[in-house]
Structure 1
């Protein structure tokens, strides 16, 4: 089992120790000078592999900044807890063997791990590994794991697991240890460092045929449930993206959040008319959702045209700007080649001409920038108008279409409920109702309470309808306004950046020209 606690003072991980323990991902020998350079020159965030083997480390700490770490060896220490490595999300190889670890924890974020060794510790149970679905090799031998059935049940979903070592655990003494593993872990290739015999796999699966059948059925059901959940989440995301969240469940929310439902269930007809309104609402909401999703295609198309128009316009403007700068640079290079052959006065004259050209370049670039600003503004304004029409169409369909119809449905439902309640109260008063519970008798015995409950229910329903309508309309307009505002803000930021770039380029050109003129004048004076 794990070695006894060392008497020497535990080592603390610091930058000096980290650098001394830098190694390579692959176990290859490198020259001493290269090794020294690697340990002294490598930036912490660029380190790929570290080996802290036999360092008498008690606590894992101070590994911040090692974001590129792929391989980490912490074997043969006195570590008691896995901690402070959750940020090392690029780890593929982790060795924590020969320590004093009792619980598997702190590894949930290390989803790239393919090789994990917890050999020779004090672990009693496999847990907190479910996110590590890329595990290819797992070594948990020489621990305190007693239940092989729990272990293989836990590891069965790990479809990439090819190598497993659990030798040296109490469960290893189970006479069916090996047969259980090869039967239940369908993708396993090596068990306890030995290649799995295909014949033994077949025999093991036949031996545990009934168990495997139950497991497969359970996994099938789980897969179906997961698929259904994924489809529901996809549908939820689709509605959310289309600003239709809550539309399909509006009636359910109306009923679930209705404080009068408990009382109104005492009315004999209540469930019947609820079934009817649910049927009508289902068709109504489906029509609105389908229509909106179809109409949203025009929104996506409009956004695409807007982005393409901006890109095309800016590409042309950028191309013209690059051409102007290139033309100036050619003239500058040509003049530079001629300077040695010119007299001093001619040189200064040419340089001043170049200075004038640089001023023209500045003006021309600013003019192009101004035109692009105007083009951006026009493109954004056109988009604002066209997309705004689509937003208004959606709001119209929501307010005067769907929500108006839902209110009409609710009003008709309420009117019918009041009429049927009136009849039922008359029959109750005449003693013509059968199988009336004590609670129902109390409720139906007070006509005012019945109608007050119906009215309160109706008001609650209308309030929920109004709330969702306001939420959807507000979000639609806010999203639209934000979209346009962000487009204008991006355009303005781009314009400011372009003006700064122009000033930088022309100022640099002017500085070079002025320095050349000064140099010529100084030479002339000498």
Structure 2
């Protein structure tokens, strides 16, 4: 069923093998020679054939980020791995290997064709992210549970399925079962599924299918609810105000306050605590709502900046492209003219003139790039100023509200202290309430113990409030710093790349000139 080791040792996927494979499938003769001279860039390769090479382990493919089609069939691969960076892959052939488990496909979200024919796979699994799958071949494997095929119902675009050669195909109702549960399937085991077969299968499995659909609907609802909640929470995180739309801060204050429970048993403290919670939650909700509003404003500002940056770059690129197009048009005429010139002196004049035009083109392209750099510097500077103002205003507002939270806690603490002092006096005079628990009565038999408990509780509450404020401020400042640095680094990378492109183009033009001179010699 699967491939055995051949007479040669297993091969290792290394740069030499990959380069050779790319060269073999690339252009030949003159075009191939030029490609080799200019260098092979793995990140530009779209298709790669690595079949019949006795490969044992998939490796060294991380540079092939543009790859759309990969052939690894007829090797001795045991494990699906090393494909994480191939996010543009749409076609993958791993047939005729020794694979035992479906795995390592999480990042292949664009995959449409997956061929696992002739391996050792016993379970269909770990394919959740392959939502665009249209063709799936897993024939001649070890699938033994027909119900396991229902896993594939999640792929709404699946129209071709090949299960031939598995144990499940020997079951009496195999074809009818597949036709019933996959009504949109067009081909099964290389044969067309006609409508009559589908209708008969649907009627036979009607009630079972309805039950499966109900279960799938419930699961889908649960998934959508979970995704919606996670998306909402992520929005709150992005706004730096997660869990501030309720009593989370209040709860955290008392979650680590061991003395709070005994102090709260005092007469009047329950109402005091309820008021404190209500007022603190109101302040937290203010921070939460302001945070969401500010997040929208920041997003709008970022989108506006990116749009302006893109427009400036596109306009500059268009002007540069027009310069090059005009020059290329002139260069073609020059080549025709030069080939017709026989006078050496006249040829020297024209060559000198052409060389000067190359220099002028270089100067013009460089000047155009410098204009863009200056323009983008101004755009980035304005953006940085706007974002800094927005973040600064947000932080100032938040700090003001958290100051109110601290004032609220101080007020609550003073009121609680008054009740505690009054209780201490009553206990000292043996006038305490009859419903006071033994633990509370013991606590209030020692004034220092009560005062220390109050102080510790107060410090804990203030610490929680301060920590949440500092967390918010630190994160929003870090976000701003990363954003600005990312924009600056991106612009620097763009500028360097553009300078390199101009120099490479100039080198190309001068090489062409040298080649022409050599041909005329």
TM-score (norm 1): 0.63
Distance in 2 (alpha carbons) for counterparts of 1:265 and 1:155 = 54
Q: Offset of 1:204 from its aligned partner?
A: 0.9
Rounded to whole Å, the distance in 1 between the matches of 2:257 and 2:506 is: 76
Q: 1:205 to 1:120 in 2, by over 3 A?
A: farther
Post-superposition offset of 1:415 = 3.6
CA RMSD of aligned residues (A): 6.1
Aligned match of 2:407:
408
Question: Within 2, Cα distance between the matches of 1:48 and 1:506?
Answer: 32
Deviation at 1:17, TM superposition (A): 9.4
Residue 9 (structure 1) aligns with: 7
2:226 aligns with 229
Contact 1:166 1:172 (C-alpha < 8 Å) held by counterparts: no
Aligned counterpart for 2:236 among listed residues 226, 230, 239:
239
1:273-315 Cα distance to aligned partner (Å, 9 max, x none): 6665444444333333333433455545555666677778889
- 8 Å CA contact 1:182–1:201 kept in 2: the answer is yes
Which residue number corresponds to residue 131 of structure 1?
A: 129
Q: Secondary structure at the match of 1:198?
A: helix
Q: Is 1:92 aligned to 2:71, yes or no?
A: no
Q: Which runs of structure 2 are paired with 1:287-366 in the superposition (5 Å)? A: 287-296=286-295, 298-300=297-299
2:518 alignment partner in structure 1: none
Q: SS of 1:137's equivalent?
A: strand
Secondary structure at 1:60 match in 2: strand
1:95 & 1:325 partners in 2: Cα distance? 45
Check whether the contact 2:391–2:477 (CA below 8 A) recurs between aligned residues: yes
- Report SS of the residue matched to 1:265: helix
Query: What residue number does 2:452 align with?
Result: 452
Q: How far does residue 198 in structure 1 lie from its aligned partner after superposition? A: 1.5
Secondary structure, aligned partner of 1:453: helix
CA distance in 2, matches of 1:391, 1:110: 38
Is 1:61 aligned with 2:60?
Answer: no
SS in structure 1 opposite 2:93?
strand
TM-score, normalised to structure 2, is 0.63
2:251 — aligned with what?
Answer: 255
What is the alpha-carbon distance in structure 2 between the residues aligned to residue 300 and residue 450 of structure 1? 50
Quote the Cα distance in structure 2 between the aligned partners of 1:83 and 1:319.
44
Deviation at 1:138, TM superposition (A): 4.2
Task: Find the counterpart in structure 1 of residue 465 from structure 2.
Answer: 465
- The 8 Å contact of residues 246 and 468 in structure 1, kept in 2 or not, is answered as no
Kindly tell me: are residues 47 and 101 of structure 1, through their superposed partners in 2, closer, same or farther at Cα, counting changes over 3 Å?
closer
Change in Cα spacing, 1:11 to 1:132, as seen in structure 2 (3 Å) is: farther
**Structure 1 residues 21, 497: closer, same or farther in 2, change over 3 A?**
closer
**C-alpha separation between the residues in 2 aligned to 1:509 and 1:48?**
32
Q: CA deviation at 1:466?
A: 1.9
Match of 1:205 in 2: 206
CA–CA distance in structure 2, aligned partners of residues 176 and 509 of structure 1:
70
Looking at structure 2, the residues matched to 502 and 8 of structure 1 have their Cα atoms a distance apart, in angstroms, of 50
Matched, 1:264 2:260: yes
Contact 1:265 1:271 in 2 (8 A): no
> Partners of 1:271 and 1:251 in 2: how far apart?
16
Query: Contact (CA 8 Å) 1:72, 1:94: kept in 2 or not?
Result: yes
- For residue 245 of structure 1, report the CA deviation from its aligned partner: 3.9
Q: Rate the CA distance shift 1:184–1:417 in 2: closer, same or farther, 3 A.
A: farther
CA displacement 1:103-133 (0-9 Å, x = unmatched): 4444444441533334573x44333333334
CA distance in 1, matches of 2:326, 2:99: 70
Residues 500/277 of structure 1: CA separation in 2 closer, same or farther (3 Å cut): same
Q: After alignment, is 293-302 or 228-237 more displaced?
A: 293-302
> Does the 8 Å CA contact 1:69/1:91 hold for their aligned counterparts?
yes
For residue 472 of structure 2, give the secondary structure of its aligned residue in structure 1. Answer: helix
Residues 225 and 275 of structure 1, relative CA distance in 2, 3 Å threshold: farther
SS in 1 for 2:205: helix
Tell me, which stretches of 5 or more residues in structure 2 are unaligned?
511-521
Deviation at 1:252, TM superposition (A): 2.0
Q: CA deviation at 1:397?
A: 0.9
Q: Give the corresponding residue for 2:513.
A: none
Q: In the aligned structure 2, how far is the partner of 1:508 from the partner of 1:8?
A: 47
How many angstroms does 1:459 deviate by?
1.4
1:391 corresponds in structure 2 to 391
What residue in structure 1 maps to residue 285 of structure 2? 286
Deviation at 1:261, TM superposition (A): 3.5
Quick one: structure 1 residues 305 and 181, their matched pair in 2 at CA, closer, same or farther if it must change by over 3 Å?
Answer: closer
Q: What are the equivalent positions in structure 2 for 1:102-117 lying under 5 Å apart? A: 102-111=100-109, 112-117=111-116
Note the C-alpha offset of 1:463.
Answer: 1.7
CA distance in 2, matches of 1:441, 1:182: 76
2:127 is paired with a residue whose SS is coil
C-alpha contact (below 8 Å) 1:138/1:161 kept by paired residues: no
Q: Which segments of 5 or more consecutive residues in structure 1 lack a partner in the other structure?
A: 26-32, 511-526
| Structure 2 CA distance for partners of 1:280 and 1:21, relative to 1, 3 Å | same
Q: Is the 8 A contact 2:57 2:78 kept in 1?
A: no
Aligned residues of 2:241 and 2:287 also touching (Cα < 8 A): no
Tell me the CA shift for residue 458 of structure 1. 2.4
